[in-house]
Amino acid sequence: METKQATGIFEALSSDVRLDLFRILVKYAPGGLVAGEIAKHLSVTKTNLSFHLKALLHAGLVTMEKEGRFLRYRANIPVMLDTIAYLTAECCSGHPEECRNYRAASAVSPEVLPKCCSSGE
Amino acid sequence: METKQATGIFEALSSDVRLDLFRILVKYAPGGLVAGEIAKHLSVTKTNLSFHLKALLHAGLVTMEKEGRFLRYRANIPVMLDTIAYLTAECCSGHPEECRNYRAASAVSPEVLPKCCSSGE
DNA sequence: GACATATTTCAAAGAGTACTGAAATATTCA
DNA sequence: TGAATATTTCAGTACTCTTTGAAATATGTC
């Protein structure tokens, strides 16, 4: 992954509307939701929803598919995973034991966390 | 983690300068680097570096510690991990097999990716 | 074909972000 | 104390993002 793509993705996730939006689509992966269904989960105008969906689409974080007169949106999970890998690349380079400690200390279940030390673990 | 904190973090990572900066500090975790050492890795003015470090600090992504006349900066790895967990929460809710497929299809080694389905894996 | 529905595009105002050089602050060393 | 070094703060300009209502586009239904 290139820096340009990664910054575009993080910028897309820097709006509360878009972050909520994306997390809903992550939850409803892989089936996705049509725009109207998404609107029911959020309180934004249709104009604004459309604006933010377009931004996520442009960043590559979601995909769109025509479905009759509806438009179905899906979270692009592979892109999400690649971005996480990019962010955590070479974490604690040369200090794998520190990485283990960090993961163990996290408030979140270690199962959902990346093995951020790419070195032989 | 709350939405407000997460959007602040993603916004901090949405600048190419700050993303490069943070990834360098991730690599040099847990020891960190002083500002001058960081400057050697990047080509930005000292003013601009200071500006972006402050933004990362404000977002909670890095910590700062005085060290004589130097200032040492460190990546806040636990916050990074919590943010990843927040982003991937409830991924493919109810479809764990899809999550496995996504991880397997990623261009990146599965070892560095989160187990994004929190459900019993 | 005419109408209802789903969703997007347009235009405009207000708010926030990025970059730079010069000056300020803080610490060390002689 | 005075000079040198490390880093930040300040002020100004240019640029980008967010939000909204009204109008446009596309599809399905009678």
DSSP states along B78-101: HHHHHHHHHHTTTTTTT-HHHHHH
Question: At B115, is the pLDDT very low, low, confident or very high (cuts 50, 70, 90)?
Answer: low
CA–centroid distance for A48 within its chain: 20
- Strand D within 7 A of B44 CB: no
Task: Check residues A114 and B102 and name the one with the higher pLDDT.
Answer: B102
A51 CB and strand D closer than 7 A: yes
Report helix, strand or coil for B66: strand
Q: Which tens digits make up the pLDDT trace of A19-65?
A: 999 999 999 999 999 999 999 999 999 999 999 999 999 999 999 99
Question: What is the signed CA dihedral for B83, B86, B92, B94, rounded to 10 degrees?
Answer: 140
- State whether residue B5 sits within 8 Å of chain A by CB: no
Residue B21 CB closer than 7 angstroms to strand C?
no
Q: Is A45 on the interface with B (CB under 8 A)?
A: no
**B15: CB partners within 8 A, 6+ apart:** A7, B52, B55
Integer Cα distance of A83 and A60 in angstroms = 11
User: What pLDDT is attached to residue A118?
Assistant: 45
d(CA A2, CA A27): 26
A64 touches strand D (CB under 7 A): no
> Token pair of A105, please?
């200390």
Name which of A63-72, B63-72, B107-116 the model is least confident about.
Answer: B107-116
CA of A44: nucleotide with nearest C1': D19
Residue of chain A with shortest Cα separation from B92 = A29
* B49 CA → D13 C1’, Å: 19
Predicted confidence (pLDDT) at residue B117 exceeds the cutoff of 70 = no
B2 touches chain A (CB under 8 A): no
DSSP states of A44-110: S-HHHHHHHHHHHHHHTSEEEEEETTEEEEEE-HHHHHHHHHHHTTTTTTT-HHHHHHHHHHSSS-G
pTM for the full predicted model? 0.91
Best of A14, A27, A81 to disrupt the B interface (most B CBs within 10 Å) is A81
A6 → chain B, closest CA residue: B14
* CA-based nearest residue to B56, from B3, B6, B9: B9
Sheet arrangement for strand A62-67: A33-34, A70-75, A62-67
Handedness of CA A88, A106, B118, B6 (dihedral sign): negative
- Chain B nearest-CA distance from A68, in A, is 24
Contacts of A112 in chain B (CB under 8 A): 84-85, 88-89, 114-116, 118
- Asked whether residue A113 carries a pLDDT value surpassing 70, the answer given is no
